[in-house]
Every structure is written in structure tokens, then in C-alpha cells.
């Protein structure tokens, strides 16, 4: 096609740059929203502040906070909380504990999370939650 070596090099370089630009443009378009979580194998999950605000989430409809007890409502009606594996982890307080009860609020579509200080007293605390 191109007989001169310089012409071939320029054509291949241009084609390579076009492919690279297309890949980079596709990556920019596919960048996730900052308010959503990337968890391809989790049914739902969230990072929740001590006041009940959601930092980012996947499949969580909302959170209701009452002191140190939170109701994390799951968005997807098909998630069966009686069969799901639910885990929660405290974010900020070393030694704090959590109690998680799936299906205990929001008409059976929520997870009750109680947060406690190291001595067992109720303490509003930020946490992560995952539903597998």
C-alpha cells in the first residue's frame, strides 16, 4: 500500500494514536458516578456516616437513623434478606461493635444495624454494610 518507509511509519503511528484516543475516550465515558459503589458481586452495600447519611451505595434505597440504631432499606425487591449474607464493619471507632438483623425494618426489606462503643453502650458510629 505505502511504498515509502517514512509514509508507512507515519500511517501506523497515526492509526495507533487513533486507537489510543478511542480507548481513553471510552474509559472517560465509563467512569463510575462518585455516589455509587463498585461491587459487582454484592447485591447491595453502602458506606454510611454516623448521622445516617449515605456516602456512596449500591442497591440501598435509604437509611433511617435513630440514635445508635439504623434501618438500611434495600432497593431491590428481589433481594431475599432471609437468605442473604449480611455483614457490617465499623468505620471510625476502634473496639466498637455492631449488631446486624436482616429483615427487621422497612417492612422486611431493611437491615437493622445497632452500633455500640467498646463498653457495650449505644454509640452513633459510621459503618460499611454489604449484602451478598
Q: What is the pTM of this model?
A: 0.72
Q: Determine the average pLDDT of the residues in 5-28.
A: 56
8 vs 65 pLDDT, higher one = 65
- For 106-132, letters b (16+ CB in 10 Å) and e give beebbbbbbbbeeeeeebbbbbbbbbe
Q: How confident is the model at residue 41 (pLDDT cuts 50, 70, 90)?
A: confident
The whole-number average pLDDT for the span 59-70 is: 98
The per-residue pLDDT for 39 is 66
Task: Output the pLDDT for position 93.
Answer: 86
Spans of all domains in the chain: 1-31, 44-131
- Tens-place pLDDT, residues 98-130: 999 999 999 999 999 999 999 999 999 999 999
Amino acid at each position: 500500500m505505502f511504498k515509502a518507509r517514512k509514509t508507512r511509519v507515519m500511517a501506523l503511528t497515526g492509526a495507533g494514536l487513533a486507537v489510543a484516543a478511542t480507548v481513553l475516550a471510552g474509559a472517560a465515558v465509563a467512569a463510575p458516578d462518585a455516589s455509587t459503589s463498585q461491587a459487582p458481586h454484592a447485591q447491595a452495600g453502602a458506606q454510611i456516616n454516623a448521622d445516617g447519611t449515605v456516602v456512596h451505595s449500591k442497591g440501598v434505597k435509604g437509611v433511617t437513623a435513630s440514635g445508635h440504631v439504623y434501618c438500611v432499606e434495600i432497593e431491590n425487591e428481589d433481594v431475599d434478606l432471609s437468605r442473604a449474607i449480611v455483614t457490617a464493619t465499623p468505620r471510625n471507632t476502634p473496639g466498637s461493635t455492631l449488631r446486624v438483623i436482616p429483615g427487621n425494618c422497612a417492612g422486611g426489606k431493611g437491615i437493622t444495624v445497632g452500633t455500640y462503643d467498646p463498653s457495650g453502650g449505644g454509640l452513633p458510629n459510621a459503618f460499611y454494610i454489604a449484602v451478598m
